[in-house]
Chains A and B, each alone.
Chain A
Amino acid sequence: MIWLSGAWAVFEKDLRLELRSRYAINMLIMFVLSSLLLVALAIGQDAVSTKMQSALLWIVILFSASIGLGRTFVGEEERGTVLILQLSVPGSQVFAGKLAFNFFLLLCVNLIGVLVFVFLLNLDITHVGLLATTLLLGSLGLAGATTMLSAIIARTTNVGPLLPVLLFPLLIPLLLSVVSAGENALAGGLGWAESTSDLTTLAAFAGVVITASVLLFDFVWND
C-alpha cells in the first residue's frame, strides 16, 4: 500500500502540474488533430481500405506519443526537481507514477484520435469492444516503452528528436499487432475470434516491456 501511495503521489503531482499549464495535453491534441487533418486531406475523397485506416490511425498515435511523451523526465531535469524526487520516493514508484500518467495521456489521445478519425475518414467500427481493448493494450505497451526511453533521453545532452529514433525500432511487434487487431475491429473485419493471438501479443508485449523497464529503470534513474 505504501508503494501504491508513493506511485499515486507521483501521478497526482504530474496531473496537477499538467492541469496548471495544460501544455502536454494541448500539444498532443493539436498534434493529433492537425496530422489527422493532413491525412484526411491527402487521401481526399478516395475510399481507403480498413487495413490502411488502421495503419494510419496507429502511425498518427505513435508519432504523437513519440513527440508528446518525451518530456516526461526532461521536464524534471529542467525544473531541477530530479534530486527531490529521488530523495522522496524509490525509483520503481517514480516509474509507476510516470507510466500511469503517460498511459492516461495516451488514452486521451486515442479517444480524440478515434473520434476525429470516425468523423473525417468515415471509419466504420463494427466491434467497438475489440477496438477499445486493442487501443487499451496497445497504449499500455506504448506507454511502457515511451516512459523508459524518455528516462533514457533525459540523461543525454541533445534531447531533441532522439526519442523517435530510439522508440520506433522497438515498437514494430506492437505496431504489427495493433494494426491487424484494429483492422479486425473495423467494418468487414474478422472480429474477436481472429484477434486473440494479436491481443495476447499486445498483452505480453506490455507485460515484458514494463517488467524490463522496472528492472532496468534504477540504473538510469539513480545515475
Chain B
Amino acid sequence: MWTRQENIPESGLKEHPHVRIGRYALVRNTVFLGLTAVVLAGFLVNIPRINILEHTARNLYFHVPMWFTMMAAVGVSGYHSFRLLQTGSLIRDIRAMQAARVGAWFGVLGLLTGIIWSKFTWYVGTDVWWNFDPRQTMASLQLLIYGAYFVLRSALEDPDRRAKIAAVYNLFAATTTPFLLYVIPRQLESLHPGAEGNPAFSEITEPVMRLIFYPAIIGFIGLFWVLYTQRVRIAWIKYRVSRDPEL
C-alpha cells in the first residue's frame, strides 16, 4: 500500500506536516480544559440583570468569539492560498481548504447565535428574524464566498489544478471584500456595538464579563486550531493513501 507513495509528485512531499505529539497534546488539552472552564463560567457566573438584555448577555461569550475565530480562519486560509501560488506544494492547498471549512462552520454558528440573540433583544416584540445589519451582511457574504469556493473545488478534478485555481479564487474574492467595509456602513444602519457612539464595552459592563470574554476568544480560536490541524492531518493521510486530499 505504501509503495504508492512513490507516485506522489515531488511538490507534495516538500512540506510534510511534522507534528510533535507531546506539544500538540499539551496545547489541545489546554484548549479543551480552558474552553470547558469558559463555558461553565459563562453559564454560572452571576451577571447584572439589565432590562431586555437579561441573561442573553451571556451570549457575548459565544457569539463574539465566533466572529473573531472566523476572521482568523479567513486570514489563515488566505495566507495558505497565497503560499500555494508561491510554492505550489499541495499541503498549502489542504491547509487553505480546511481553514476555510472549519472557519465556515464558526461563521454559521456566529450567524445563528447572532440571529437568536437579536431576535430576543433588538427585535423583541417584532416578527423580524433577519435584518441587513452591516456585520450580518458581511458575514453572510463571506459564507457565500466560501460556498462558491467549495463548489468551484468540486468542479475541478486534477488535485494540482484544483489547488491553483481554488487559491486564485480565494485571493480574488479576498480583494473585493474590503470594499464592503467602506460601502455597507454608508447604506445600512448598524445596531452592533462598536459602531459610532456605541462602545463595545460600557461602564455598566460587569468587570467579570471581560475576564470571561477574553479567555473565550482565545479558547474558541484554540478550538479552531485543534479542529483545523486535526483535519489537515486527516486530509494529508488521505492524500498519501488515495492521492486525493478532498474529504
Please indicate whether A and B come from the same complex rather than being unrelated chains.
yes
Task: Write the residues of chain A forming the contact surface with B, with a CB cutoff of 8 angstroms.
Answer: 145, 148-149, 152-153, 155-158, 162, 165-166, 168-173, 176-177, 180, 197, 201, 204-205, 208-209, 212-213, 216, 219-220, 223
Known: A170-B145, A173-B184, A176-B187. 17 other contacts (CB 8 A): A149-B172, A155-B156, A155-B165, A156-B155, A162-B155, A165-B147, A166-B152, A166-B169, A169-B145, A172-B137, A173-B179, A173-B182, A176-B183, A212-B171, A216-B85, A220-B164, A223-B165
- Given known A166-B148, A170-B176, contact A158–B155 (CB-CB < 8 A): yes
| Contacting residues of chain B (150-187) with chain A, CB-CB under 8 angstroms | 151-152, 155-157, 161, 164-165, 167-169, 171-173, 175-176, 179-180, 182-184, 186-187
B141 at the interface (CB under 8 A from A): yes
CB-CB under 8 A from B164, the residues of chain A are 219-220, 223
Tell me if B144 counts as interface (CB < 8 A to partner A): yes
Chain B residues near A171 (CB, 8 Å)? 176
- A157, A166, A180, A209: which contacts B187 (Cβ < 8 A)? A180
Question: Taking the nearest CB of chain B, how far is it from the CB of A152, in angstroms?
Answer: 6
Q: Smallest CB–CB gap between A17 and chain B, Å?
A: 25
22 pairs of residues in contact across A and B, judged by CB atoms under 8 Å: A145-B176, A152-B168, A155-B156, A155-B161, A155-B165, A156-B156, A156-B165, A162-B152, A165-B151, A165-B152, A166-B151, A166-B152, A169-B144, A169-B145, A173-B179, A197-B186, A205-B179, A209-B176, A212-B175, A216-B171, A219-B164, A219-B167
Q: Which B residues have a C-beta under 8 Å from some C-beta of A?
A: 85, 137, 141, 144-145, 147-148, 151-152, 155-157, 161, 164-165, 167-169, 171-173, 175-176, 179-180, 182-184, 186-187
List, in ascending order, chain A residues with CB within 8 A of B165's CB. Answer: 152, 155-156, 220, 223
Residues of B within 8 A of A204 (CB): 179
> In the complex, how many angstroms separate the beta carbon of A128 from the nearest chain B beta carbon?
24
Give complex CA distance A219, B83 in Å.
Answer: 13
**For the complex, what is the distance from the CA of A219 to the CA of B144, rounded to whole Å?**
24
Q: How far is the CA of A157 from the CA of B162 in the complex (A)?
A: 11
Partner of A216, one of B148, B157, B172: B172
Are A157 and B172 in touch, CB under 8 angstroms?
A: no
> In whole angstroms, what is the CA distance A208 to B141 when docked?
19
Closest CB in chain B relative to A73 CB, distance in Å: 12
Tell whether A157 pairs with B141 under 8 Å between CB atoms, given A177-B183, A208-B175: no
B156 touches A169 (CB 8 A): no
Most A-side CB within 10 Å, residue of B164, B167, B168, B184: B168
